[in-house]
Structure 1
Amino acid sequence: MSTIEVSNVMSQPEPSQIVSAKRRVSSALDKIFRKKSSIGFSSTAFTSSIPHTHIDALTDDDLLTGHSNGSDSGPDDDAMTLWSSMEGNTYIHSMFGNQPHLNNLSPELVWVFSYKRKFGCLGDASDVMYIGDGRSLVVDMIGNRVLHFDKRGISSIAYSTEDMIEPWAVAVNTEDVIHVTARKTKCVTRFLKNGESITPIKNVNFTTPSGVAIGKNDQMFVSDVTTNLLTAHETDGTFISTIGSSMSPIQHLDRPRYVTVDNSNNIIVSDSGNHSIKVFDSEGNFVHKIGERGKGEGQLKFPYGVCTDTSDNIIVADHYNDRVSFFSKSGQFIRHLVTSLDGLNHPQGVYLTSNFRLLVTHGGLKAHEVLVYDLRSSQLSEKEVFV
């Protein structure tokens, strides 16, 4: 059995059984992180690496059973190996050259990690971002750090700075500079992937910065849940303008938690307090509103994370409705991608990879897990998927 068939093994009748099986594997992550020594904070960013664990001797069946044909490999190896390269299976694009429509896809849970509140795992995963080549960044708001997972998942790095207190969201610009909003210290922290610290962006009237996104020419957009503002900044943090108008009832923001920028440089913000998504064009002009308070199709209840696909369609973490919803770029509701029936509970950060792996941070009062769903259904024919 190959690693790509993990989702078939986990296809149990009850979503709780699916999540439980994944948790048994992901619990091995705790052992890996406990090998680390305690880490102290300094005035510059630090990175802390876990030594690589060798997995070459494992068979594919070993990855699911926790056995290793008599080798020294153990559950640490098994858990990490299941985190395969996010772009390792790209037959959809190479065979058809077309993007499948998400309204024809079905989710399968293929991976869960970091669910126990122990060192190295997630206290409250407020955001997640895929950065290519199988690597992802997860913001741990309670842990005051950003965790990095590499393409094979056999080592991890923790990023933090003395200014990174209550980090919330993450974005990376074209220069590979990692930007993380820090709510407690009222700034946007910045550092390189090697851990080198860059001067944080402060003193620009941030009160509680939450969402952050990078747009054209590396312009930065930041939402603030206290001032209820969405602002645009130059690369160095210099203030450019405020997006939207507080004087307009339809444009006014209330607790804007997350923001993203699509391929057309439209700015999309989750207007949580107004239970909607607001879309602005590249010049900051209001385009349209998506959603209203409720539980019905197309309705939202405190939307959190937001992202887009390559066609600028919009994906929203509908926090208190326990689902992730999919809208066209014009705002038309298409479908719910994953719901509580798929094991989802209070989703926060969301990210969609180019090969339709959906990363979602979720949990009860705190988001202790990152779920990875494969939105491509093995049950659909090619004709059904590629319409």
Structure 2
Amino acid sequence: MSSSAKKVKKAVLRRLSVFSGIGLSGIDRQTSWPAVSPSSSRFDQWRYEQPVDITNPLAIRRTLDRRVTFDSVWHSRHKTEDDFAEITDDADANKKTERKTRCSEFSLLTSSISENDTHNHSYVNTIFKNAELNHNDVFVSAFGKKGTNAGDYQDAKHITCFSNGELLITDLINDRLQICSNVTSSVTIFSPDEIKQPWATAVTTDGNIAVTSCKERCVKLFNIKGEFIDEFGQKYFVRPTGLAVDNYGNFIVCDSVIDKVSMFDKNGTFIRFLGNSFIQEECFNSPRYVCVSITGEIIVSDCGHHKIKVFDSDGNFIRSFGSFGNGDRQLKCPYGVSTNKYGDIFVSDHYNSRISMFSREGVFIRHVVTSEHGLVHPQGLTISHDLYMYISHGHLKANEILVYKLSDALDYEYSNIIHYV
């Protein structure tokens, strides 16, 4: 490094503004960055070295108490040793058993996170102001951090919401699924040998759990206890990603390498490919996620084409919307897709770092959450029947889950929607 470059570097370092929020409540500005630990990523180390503009809303962070969910939404519980269960394979007994494990770092519903632990979280340099959310949408909570312990994530790709309010979250790098309970304040780790690089999950009509395994190139079925049942699709997949189950029990599976979206019946028998590879509007380029709307339409995020494509329940193409860009009606590599009870379509606009809302016809309505609220590269997205929205996000890999309560108001004034079906 030349002497002039060293002088510039020293001048920049002298101008760095550092923040912390120790002992403050609500939304506070930082006066010092937490120390960078050996486990911090190179991106985190770079970020901590950058100057912070105090006029920039992204320089405001949530204090630790914002990680604790509100009593009005979740039931407060005290964490105990019995709150954590890991599904393991007992070789001696040749059957699945539950092993209770202690994990002092998991804090889905408890405030066990210390000030020294904040550097592991992607929210350190973000803002969450409910006043900035439109239509009475409310930020509820955030949980998870980078790691391998219970409640940690290395790459949370997908979120499934059970009817009882529990969340099933896939972790591609940790090779496991985690069920987070809002009733018992616990997390159950599914890590049988059969799960390798899980991307997405879906609940079958029989109440079992279907998982796309990227490494083994198939869809695997487990019961709710984590016991392996069956698998299918090895002849059709190279890298299965998004997964959904329709009202008839059929499986819809994306493959981001061969650019196909396949439909299988409830027994795992191949039915058809969606779309037409010879028609530009119907072909795919790296499809990542899929969901089924309340009306039975199949909605696919066509990541490479920066579009959302909609098919009927038989797999016939209906419409598409979106184009490359950062405008209101544009997308940059859409990831997770989900719908609410009105049929509105919500999209994780990955590289625009926002959640965008469209009508079922593809008419843009509004951006629900953006980078101004601290959202960074969203991936998994799901909306529960009672309008709670769950998002997995993170700078390089998704390691935090955000929870929002969406407004139940219709958005007629923001589009030319005439009615909902």
Asked if 1:129 is matched to 2:172, the reply is no
Distance 1:299 1:216, change over 3 A: same
CA distance, structure 2, for counterparts of residue 185 and residue 177 of structure 1 = 19
Classify the secondary structure of the residue corresponding to 1:180: strand
SS of alignment partner, residue 254 of structure 1? coil
1:320 and 1:22 mapped to 2: Cα distance? Answer: 29
After superposition, the Cα gap between the structure-2 partners of 1:373 and 1:22, relative to the gap in structure 1 and judged at 3 Å, is farther
1:142 aligned to 158, 173, 197, which one? 173
Report matched runs for 1:222-241 at 5 Å: 222-241=253-272
Cα deviation, 1:197-226, whole Å, max 9, x if unaligned, reads 111224331111001000021011001011
SS in 2 for 1:199: strand
Q: What is residue 352 of structure 1 aligned with on the other side?
A: 383
Higher helix fraction: Structure 1 or Structure 2? 1
Among candidates 299, 315, 329, match of residue 330 of structure 2: 299
User: What CA deviation, in whole Å up to 9, does each residue of 1:142-186 have, x standing for no partner?
Assistant: 111110012325221111332321110111022111111011110
* Identical amino acids, percent of aligned pairs: 35
Q: TM-score, normalised by structure 1?
A: 0.76
Q: Does 1:116 align with 2:146?
A: yes
TM-score, normalization by structure 2: 0.70
- State how far apart, in whole Å, the 1-side matches of 2:284 and 2:95 are: 33
Q: 1:203 aligns with which of 234, 238, 243?
A: 234
Aligned equivalent of 2:192: 161
Q: Tell me by how many angstroms 1:355 deviates.
A: 2.5
Alignment deviations for residues 315-349 of structure 1 (CA, whole Å, 9 cap, x no partner): 10000000000000000000011011111100000
Residues 216 and 41 (structure 1 numbering): CA distance in 2 closer, same or farther, change over 3 Å? same
Aligned-partner SS, 1:226: coil
Cα distance change on mapping 1:47 and 1:206 into 2, 3 Å: farther
Q: Is the 8 A contact 1:23 1:113 kept in 2?
A: no
**Correspondence 1:294-333 to 2 at 5 A:** 294-333=325-364
Query: Is the alpha carbon distance of 1:104 and 1:154 closer, same or farther for their aligned partners in structure 2, counting shifts above 3 Å?
Result: closer
Describe how 1:1-387 pairs up with structure 2 within 5 A.
10=26, 17-21=60-64, 25=68, 48=98, 50=100, 79-80=108-109, 105-120=135-150, 121-376=152-407
Select between 122-131 and 41-50 the one with higher mean Cα deviation: 41-50
Cα 1:35–1:154 change in 2 (3 A) is closer
Change over 3 Å in CA distance of 1:79–1:16 after alignment to 2 = farther
Equivalent-residue separation in structure 1 for 2:95 and 2:335 (angstroms): 28
Q: Write the letter of the residue equivalent to 2:378.
A: P
Which AA in structure 2 matches 1:189? K
Contact 1:49 1:157 in 2 (8 A): no
Give the drift of 1:109.
Answer: 2.2
Is the 1:32–1:50 Cα contact (8 Å) retained in structure 2?
Answer: no
- Of the two, which has the highest radius of gyration? 2
Residues 106 and 323 from structure 1, CA distance in 2 versus in 1: closer, same or farther, beyond 3 angstroms?
Answer: farther
Pick which of 159-168 and 189-198 moved more: 159-168
CA RMSD of aligned residues (A): 3.4
Is residue 175–residue 197 contact of structure 2 (8 Å, CA) maintained in 1? Answer: yes
**Mapped partners of 1:236, 1:38: distance in 2:** 29
- 1:290-332 superposed Cα distances (whole Å, 9 cap, x missing partner): 1000000010000000011112110100000000000000000
Gaps of 5+ in 1: 1-8, 54-73, 83-102
1:46, 1:160 within 8 Å by CA — same for their partners in 2? no
In the alignment, is the contact (CA less than 8 A) between 1:274 and 1:293 conserved in 2? Answer: yes
The 2-side partners of 1:369 and 1:37 are apart by 21
Aligned equivalents of 2:375 and 2:401: distance in 1? 10
The verdict on how the C-alpha distance between 1:79 and 1:327 changes in structure 2, with shifts beyond 3 A counting, is closer
How far apart in 2 are the matches of 1:164 and 1:314?
30
- For the Cα contact (< 8 Å) 1:173–1:214, is it kept in 2? yes
**Paired residues of 1:266 and 1:279 also in contact (CA < 8 A):** yes
Q: Pick closer, same or farther for the CA change 1:141–1:20 going to 2, 3 Å.
A: farther
**Shift of residue 235 of structure 1?**
1.0
Aligned partners of 1:126 and 1:349 also within 8 Å: yes
Query: For 1:217, what is the secondary structure of its paired residue?
Result: coil
CA distance in 2, matches of 1:274, 1:283: 23
Match of 2:141, as an amino acid?
W
Code of the residue aligned with 2:158 in structure 1: it is D
Matched residue pairs, number?
Answer: 328
The amino acid across from 1:323 in the alignment is R
Question: Structure 1 residue runs of 4+, over 4 Å off?
Answer: 9-18, 22-26, 31-53
- The separation in 2 between residues aligned to 1:193 and 1:115, in whole angstroms, is 25
Amino acid at match of 2:147: R
Looking at structure 2, the residues matched to 23 and 369 of structure 1 have their Cα atoms a distance apart, in angstroms, of 13
